[in-house]
Structure 1
Amino acid sequence: MNWLCGLIGEGIAKSRSPAMHEREARNLGLPLVYRLVDTDNWQSDSRGLADILRWMERFHFNGTNVTHPYKQAVIPLLDELSDAALAIGAVNTVVFQGGRRIGHNTDWSGYAANFRRTLPDVSLNRVGQVGAGGAAAAVAYALLSMGAARLDIFDVASRRAADLAERLGSLFPEARVSAASCVEDVISGADGIVQTSPIGMDSHPGSPFSSDLLDASQWFSEVIYFPCETPLLAAARAKGCRTVSGVGMAVFQAADAFALFTGVAPDRDRMLSEFD
């Protein structure tokens, strides 16, 4: 069997996803091709997701990953959601199966696996999160699944943060989940901070907040992996914070997606060691 997979996103020309999937497929002896569908360059009368998904089905794609800014917008176009995708309210992996589009979320499992690997002994008593979009929802779900007792969420779109806090609070009633009105409130007094906004990506340069707000006693987690080290991550490390980049999350979410596309379990440690 030959596999054809893809990634839908905006400004994704430099994505490492094709290399990760195709390299691991070669290691396993699987004939797999992975193609980018960058909506910045999509040539069609319609630039909509529905048009892209129909195109993929017409060319017999087995599945596709979905990234910023389509992880939530894709949901109404799907036939079925996994339990995690439904709870999170975001999809990063779509499998085309039997004429149906099935949405999954491997961001949360990828983040959790990387967090346990890199920061296994840190406190999750109080966690601050910056960002409330599609990737942020998955990370928040992962943190609460790992036992975070309190999670404070800030987003410049305050309604989005409030909606996410309300939804996750109902799923994890034993935890305290709330939306904060300013970024300082989620950072001050927190055991650790997770940066889940797209600010800091090569396509979205800048920093979502000043590193001056961080304290050396805090841990700091970044979900961005392109670049591998954002200026904020570097500044947090320089202050003495224990830090973790977004590389591990990117690799482990790709590994989980690879398994969904092919039905074959990849070697996750090998994928991480070969990431470049």
Structure 2
Amino acid sequence: MTTASGGPVAAQCFGVLGDPVAHSRSPAMHAAAFAALGLPHRYLAFHVTPDRLAEAVRGARALGFGGLNLTVPHKQAALALCDALAPEAQRIGAVNTIVFEGGAIVGHNTDGRGFAAAVRQLSSEYVLKAMVLGSGGAARAVVDAIASELLGPRGHVRWVSRDPAALAAELPAGGPVVAAGWGEASGGEAVDLLVNCTTVGMAHGPSAFPVPADALVAGLAPGARVVDIVYPRPAGGLLDLAEAAGALVQDGLEMLLWQGVFAEALWLGRALGPDVVAAMRAALR
């Protein structure tokens, strides 16, 4: 591929920073996109511990990287490293995509839009009663997406975490999102959308929720959607139980796909066509 002036496109490196990160399928997905576009770029996964995040981000800028993604546990910590924040990153309070613009580190969040696009693959119906598990950067993006894009009239979101008081202090009074502890994750009103944003089931993560998974499934409304943003789908986990109970289920690969589509569009400065999205999806399966 050539530039507008007729010269070849200079190869750039992109990457994802995480701890852990060896399980990430982002490199295969973005490699497929670059190949479909005829671009010489590379995308790599880098294991970066929290104490080295600032060095890694600033080092990527110094080396001329085209951009970065951030995954667990860096999305909230990255806020302080950015010279500027896009509105959605500011609103959500987390960064999953970094664009280097003239030496400036600009933080974006494509997780929310990615989640909304993924959930619509299951059903286009409005959400009436949702429950989101976890309070990290991904959970913040998911809650924001549900409240701003997916929630129907008079709908509400139960946001479950280990420290509901801290979450409640951030939420506007009388809004559609209500903070709750794990003791409130089972029982109460049936939910038509359940989303796991914890690290339960992730490689090297915990194997069980603070409450039994079957109790979570028992609280689903008929025809509910259940999304576990962890991938690959853990055998015998939440999604298997929910699917056996008749729910529509989805693992984290569809959200990964769409946040990646939106992130790459930011890096390249153009939307990706259906053929490129199809190549990215195929690389994830």
Paired position in structure 2 for 1:179: 179
Change (3 A) 1:186 1:103: farther
User: How far apart are residue 228 of structure 1 and its match?
Assistant: 6.7
Q: CA deviation at 1:203?
A: 2.3
* Deviation, structure 1 residue 258: 1.0
Whether contact under 8 Å (1:9, 1:68) holds in the other structure is: yes
Q: 125, 129, 134: which one pairs with 1:126?
A: 129
Q: Paired residue for 2:141?
A: 138
Identity of aligned residues (%): 32
Counterpart of 1:199, as a letter, is V
Residues 227 and 178 of structure 1: is their aligned pair in 2 closer, same or farther, counting only changes over 3 Å?
same
Contact 2:122 2:248 in 1 (8 A): no
- The amino acid of 1:106's aligned partner reads T
Superposed CA RMSD in Å reads: 2.1
Q: Which runs of 5+ in 1 are unaligned?
A: 41-45
Report the TM-score when normalising by structure 1. 0.88
From 238, 246, 266, the counterpart of 2:244: 238
Question: Is 1:53 aligned to residue 54 of structure 2?
Answer: no
Given the two structures, how large is their TM-score scaled by the length of structure 2? 0.85
Letter in 1 for 2:277: R
Distance 1:183 1:92 in 2: 30
One-letter amino acid of the structure 1 residue matched with residue 140 of structure 2: A
Deviates more, 1:143-152 or 1:110-119: 143-152
Q: Is the 8 A contact 1:133 1:160 kept in 2?
A: no
TM superposition shift of 1:186: 6.0
Q: 1:269: Cα distance to partner?
A: 3.4
SS of equivalent to 2:54: helix
AA of the residue aligned to 1:135 = A
Q: Secondary structure at the match of 2:128?
A: coil
2:188 is aligned with 1:188: yes
C-alpha spacing 1:264/1:200, structure 2 compared with 1 (3 Å): same
Q: Shift in Å at residue 36 of structure 1?
A: 1.7
Q: Match of 2:177, as an amino acid? A: V
Residue 258 (str. 1) matches residue 258 (str. 2):
no
Bigger radius of gyration, 1 or 2?
2
Given that 1:154 and 1:186 are in contact with CA atoms closer than 8 Å, whether structure 2 keeps it comes out as: no
> Are 1:33 and 2:35 counterparts?
no
Contact 2:116 2:150 in 1 (8 A): no
| CA displacement at 1:110 relative to structure 2 | 0.5
Q: How many residues align?
A: 264
Q: Write out per-residue CA displacement over residues 74-111 of structure 1, whole angstroms, 9 at most, x where no aligned residue.
A: 11110111111100000000011101000000100100
Gaps of at least 5 residues in structure 2 are: 1-8
Distance change (3 Å), C-alpha of 1:242 and 1:53: same
Residues 247 and 183 (structure 1 numbering): CA distance in 2 closer, same or farther, change over 3 Å? farther
Structure 2 distance, partners of 1:265, 1:140, is 25
> In the aligned structure 1, how far is the partner of 2:45 from the partner of 2:227?
27
Matched letter for residue 15 of structure 1:
S
